[in-house]
Structure 1
Amino acid sequence: MTAPFHQIVSIILLAVSLTTAAPKPTIYQSNSPDGKTRIEVAVSDRKVLIYRILSANEPVLNWSSLGFQLNGEAVGQNVAIKKQSLRSHKEQFAWPLGENDLIQNNYNELILDCQSGAIAFQIIARVFDGSVAFRYVLPKQKGTEVGLIREEHTTFVLTDKYTIYQYNEETVFTPTVLTDLQKTSDFPSTLTNGRFFLSIGEADNQSYAKSVLTKGVYPNSLSVAFHKDSVKTKADFRTPWRTISIATSAIGLHQFSDLPLRLCAPMAPSVPNWIKPGKLIRSSLTTQGGLNCIDFAAKHNLQYIMFDAGWYGAEFRTTSDPTQVISAIDMPRVIQYGKEKGRSGAPVGVILYVNRVALRARLDELLPLYKKWGVAGLKFGFVDGLTQEGITWLAGAIKKVYDYGFILDIHDNYKPTGLSRTYPNLLTQEGIRGNENNPDAFHNTVLPFTRFLAGAADYTFCYPNTNRYFTDNLYKTKLQVSKGQQLALSVVYFSPLQAIFWYGNPTDYNDEGEIEFFSRVPTVWNESHYLAGEIGNYISVARRQGKTWYVGSAAGLADWTGTIPLHFLESDKLYQATVYEDDSVGGVHKRVVDVKRGDSIPVSLKAKGGQAIIIDEKN
């Protein structure tokens, strides 16, 4: 039995200090295609496997440990590197369900075949422009079919004092100096020292436990941990990718929001045509509620309605039957009505919520039945996104839902790791403190720089209507941000399936001038640009679909005054900008101005406010 991990870390710290040069043994390295990002891997003179990351020849991570504990053995200690392989990869793929039409997937890869005592393993590292990703691979071991990983020894030793935006699952964000960190922080976590902005993330988790970041034993360091589980392995077992992305501005981190997709393999050469993105409104649990929502959806360019928890009874009871609809809902009538009422011949689809209790017991029975009913999609509720068993089950369930031709939304503690590339029917997921929890403007302006770097999120917009009870009693308090900010965030926040009117009764919306923006705004994009932003202070994003641009700008807890440069517009064309902004009485004011490339639109937002703009070409 080898030494426990805290002793291993002590060995590393004795062998490698922040002020010393690279260790004497051979350094194995790979550089990004542009030559500015580099990973270096070495074995210290005490035979501990270590790595560091550099940006423009400057260390961003100092020498940090690699490895894990397998069957009680510290893999990463007593290491020899047996073989090195290098290769380059250059790829461009279409992604019609994303923030940009095309995704560039160019990297240089380093594969190291290693031996740690009796255990053979590989380190695979991919170096992109601005990012590094690495994972461990366990080939079949002599004398055993299955191993047990109880700890991961991956660490991130930073070169300076950093602040981390700490959060866990659906909590708020707490900016915390690393030396003061007491709680764990989820992937992806964003850190900054004021000069660099880092995102430490995860990709391609199909069969691992949920991992978190904890305070490391060395100052300004983090460690990977999964306290509530262990991980069973088998031959050719691959851990999730650990990713580190580096930018020199907060908005610069957005270029890495598609990194998890780039690290997952597609199951098909292209996205099937039956996968349709769109917006939805949630229905009350009655037939008439469903019919009213379909009418509203058809009028306001929404593609789906959803029957949420309760349509087959109390969701957590094993006696509730997900094959039987409560008597208050005539499901065949609602589904058929949606097929008949769709806009421009496209049906309004019905999405059904199913709780984990029913999913785990009856998924294989439910999928063919719901297909027969004509259901368009599913929403999974209260899934287990924490344990290896739960995550492995989810990956298999996503594939089954894909095979039956349903779109999918996964709620509660599950966060994306890029699996939408493999199963593009997984349009969105929660893993976010959304609007139904009434977060403040600080939270709203932290999200674009943190959680959204992992992928799409179902924020469940709770846009208020003219029903005074709704407006004044959302969780016994008014919304903490303005209506203009609600409009703007539908552009800023990315989700191919966007829940817009979460608590709204469609018959209560008679303020068409306000909600017409929601009728027009798309959920997938041809081109996207983060224009301006500082974490927790403000954000401005421009996105294009077709020839039309949409711009969303939101302020945090302080006023924000600035300008939006329209450099993304085409030259020699005139445009008309329709600006939706907060008025002085809690509503939305609309104005129209002519603009062209080279112009700037002034922004003057009050704290908690927002501005949304549609820019059309003039005829």
Structure 2
Amino acid sequence: MLIRLAHYQILMFLLLSVGSVKAAPKLKIYQAISPDTKTRIAISVSDQKTLMYRMWQADEPVLNWSALGFELNGVHVGQNAVIKKQSPHSHKEQFAWPLGENDIILNNYNELILDCQSGTTAFQVIARVFDGSVAFRYVLLNQKGLETGLIRQEHTTFAPTGNYTIYQYNEESVFTPTALTDLQKTCDFPATLTNGRFFLSIGEADNQRYTKAVLTKGTEPNSLAVAFHKDSVKTTADFQTPWRTISVATSPIGLHQFSDLPLRLCTPMAQSIPSWIKPGKLIRSSLTTQGGLNCIDFAAKHDLQYIMFDAGWYGAEFRTTSDPTQVITAIDMPKVIQYGQEKGIGVILYVNRVALRARLDEILPLYKKWGVAGLKFGFVDGLTQEGITWLAGAVKKVYDYGFVLDIHDNYKPTGLSRTFPNLLTQEGIRGNENNPDAFHNTVLPFTRFLAGAADYTFCYPNANRYFTDNLYKTKLQVSKGQQLALSVVYFSPLQAIFWYGNPTDYSDEGEIEFFKRVPTVWNETHYLAGEIGKYISVARRKGKTWYIGTVAGLTDWSGSLPLQFLVAGKQYQATIYEDDATGSIQKRVIDIKQADALPVSVKAKGGQAIIIEEKN
């Protein structure tokens, strides 16, 4: 719905929109406002005939005038621009999402479609305004001479008002807080920025046939520009780019409400999620028959739903001579899969890109015949248009054959799980196998997790010793209590809990009891407290049971957690799992109620996990 302002509002809008009062009458403004009327996008053509936009939150500018457009076949689309027609729309819906952080996702927005002309090129800018967020994309209209084309660069920019710090990272790297004026490296989507008052997340949604784009320092002061990571983009008639999104909150934890925005911007393929798509936890097995059988027994005992055979089960993963239809002699795959089926445990198989690209159509029906439950894609190409386009098609094929899916390495989510809900999780994150520190762990909830689920691959130490596996010889930089708590804080419908664990070594059941109970999908979620890189506390409900994960960064954190999410008048019992003085886990039980403020004190690099249940 396009909001028509009163004359006074229009005047004030123009005064805020341009650098001088004299320039204001020259601009014709096209705008859309969020359902709660607090978030606003304005699109206009400058005196230099350049297409541009601006964003407000609660009548305060969040972005200064920023550029729109792209280079198509050597022509700067967005210059010499004319807006020929506007079409406003209003959209209101809610949809069930049993594979997420909340049962129901609200998808309410006002949309503005602008038919534009830039030279001889006709295109559209589609803008959607949600409460707290704006999203826009470009659409090439079907026209003679543009049946195919080449976008060499995108001219979209983001110009925050004032001095901002960005948490710079790329794919699986660490985070480096950097002033925009000092930014030298590129930064991945989603990018988190703050000036101390506002917290911004600049993201991407619905990338199924584009290239990987990144953010780089813009030419204007304190600005960011979209740049291509690897290649150009080939277009066809009616081609549309991914959504560019900007979300704004007044607190770090306020950003979490936008973590489902990529899902809202993607189209579902079906009205409901098939029953065969089952979330769960997994343990990775050694590459032997007995290892698989032991993992199945462990999974059945500890309420895990899957085991995984990772790289190597069909030979050296990067060799073209390795055959993904043939199992190494050390594994009796039919025996392991059958035993898993008897125990209600699914087997997930890893396949490297080399084998995927050569033999995907062959292995899918074969693995279905074997009784495989899911696949893990490894070392995919999430950096180029060709790789991303192939990957989207592969996800659909895996969906059609009825497998759950986990994508690893550089691929990051853009909401594709809404279209293909079998895509339960993906990596695109510096996970636990890389042994990140507590600063990294307490930045992730405010950055990468705003794009969607991430497979962190928890490397929880064996109860009676640290690992001596050749893959992992370094003692973790965080406590065991932090690992327990992160299984609540970090969202992933498919959660790898024991990545380097040998199931026969876990002799202390009390240490891993929490992992047995924690779910991976939720009915309700609340971010209770948090500061980027310092601490985070998250409460999630499954059924009538609540789980709270609290994690400290590199310094101690003490505070109190509100419990308003509990039901008034009921009595609850909280079971608290936390670090003890010996490097293990201790458990204590307290009584609580909704009116209480739950005190919490966590040492640096530590964590606390809580289960809250009604008292009978």
Query: In structure 1, what is the equivalent of residue 168 of structure 2?
Result: 166
List structure 1 segments (4+ residues) > 2 angstroms apart after TM superposition: 15-23, 466-469, 471-477
Query: In structure 2, what is the equivalent of residue 10 of structure 1?
Result: none
Maintained 8 Å contact 1:261/1:419: yes
Query: In structure 2, what is the equivalent of residue 66 of structure 1?
Result: 68
Q: 1:535 to 1:452 in 2, by over 3 A?
A: same
- Map 1:429-440 to 2 at 5 A: 429-440=426-437
CA positional deviation for 1:383: 0.1
Percent identical residues: 83
Query: In structure 1, what is the equivalent of residue 534 of structure 2?
Result: 537
Query: In structure 2, what is the equivalent of residue 228 of structure 1?
Result: 230
In 1: Cα distance, 2:25 partner to 2:176 partner:
37
CA positional deviation for 1:476: 3.6
CA deviation profile, 1:528-567 (whole Å, cap 9, x unmatched): 0000000000000000000000000000000001011111
Maintained 8 Å contact 1:16/1:23: no
Residue identity opposite 2:562 in structure 1: P
Determine which of 112, 130, 133 is the counterpart of 1:131.
133
Residue identity opposite 2:508 in structure 1: D
In 2: Cα distance, 1:471 partner to 1:602 partner:
38
- Map 1:61-460 to 2 at 5 A: 61-341=63-343, 347-460=344-457
CA positional deviation for 1:45: 1.3
Note if 1:563 corresponds to 2:565: no
Maintained 8 Å contact 1:411/1:430: yes
Q: 1:389 to 1:18 in 2, by over 3 A?
A: farther
CA positional deviation for 1:58: 1.0
In 1: Cα distance, 2:549 partner to 2:231 partner:
41
Q: 1:43 to 1:483 in 2, by over 3 A?
A: same
In 2: Cα distance, 1:480 partner to 1:379 partner:
27
Residue identity opposite 2:327 in structure 1: V
Query: In structure 2, what is the equivalent of residue 3 of structure 1?
Result: none
For the aligned residues, what is the CA RMSD? 1.3
How many equivalent pairs are there? 600
Residue identity opposite 1:166 in structure 2: Q
Q: 1:21 to 1:606 in 2, by over 3 A?
A: farther
CA positional deviation for 1:143: 2.1
Q: 1:313 to 1:73 in 2, by over 3 A?
A: same
In 2: Cα distance, 1:469 partner to 1:89 partner:
54
CA deviation profile, 1:35-85 (whole Å, cap 9, x unmatched): 000000000111110100001111100001100000000000000111000
Larger deviation: 217-226 or 138-147?
138-147
CA deviation profile, 1:442-469 (whole Å, cap 9, x unmatched): 0000000000000000000000013535
Q: TM-score, normalised by structure 1?
A: 0.96
In 2: Cα distance, 1:471 partner to 1:357 partner:
30
Aligned partner of residue 448 in structure 1, secondary structure: helix
In 1: Cα distance, 2:382 partner to 2:304 partner:
29
Maintained 8 Å contact 1:157/1:221: yes
Aligned partner of residue 26 in structure 2, secondary structure: coil
In 2: Cα distance, 1:606 partner to 1:576 partner:
24
Q: Which runs of 5+ in 1 are unaligned?
A: 1-14, 342-346
Query: In structure 2, what is the equivalent of residue 5 of structure 1?
Result: none
Q: 1:559 to 1:182 in 2, by over 3 A?
A: same
Maintained 8 Å contact 2:467/2:473: no
Maintained 8 Å contact 1:210/1:385: yes
Query: In structure 2, what is the equivalent of residue 551 of structure 1?
Result: 548
Maintained 8 Å contact 2:211/2:229: no
- Map 1:444-483 to 2 at 5 A: 444-466=441-463, 468-470=465-467, 475-483=472-480
CA positional deviation for 1:140: 1.7
Maintained 8 Å contact 1:23/1:45: no
Query: In structure 2, what is the equivalent of residue 344 of structure 1?
Result: none
In 2: Cα distance, 1:158 partner to 1:469 partner:
47
CA positional deviation for 1:183: 0.1
Q: 1:476 to 1:290 in 2, by over 3 A?
A: closer
Residue identity opposite 2:254 in structure 1: G
CA positional deviation for 1:31: 0.0
CA positional deviation for 1:23: 6.5
Determine which of 588, 593, 603 is the counterpart of 1:591.
588
In 2: Cα distance, 1:140 partner to 1:71 partner:
15
CA positional deviation for 1:19: 9.6
CA positional deviation for 1:472: 9.7
In 1: Cα distance, 2:21 partner to 2:179 partner:
22
Maintained 8 Å contact 1:488/1:551: yes
CA positional deviation for 1:602: 1.1
CA positional deviation for 1:571: 1.2
Maintained 8 Å contact 2:215/2:227: yes
In 1: Cα distance, 2:129 partner to 2:180 partner:
26
Maintained 8 Å contact 1:464/1:471: no
Residue identity opposite 2:551 in structure 1: A
CA positional deviation for 1:115: 0.3
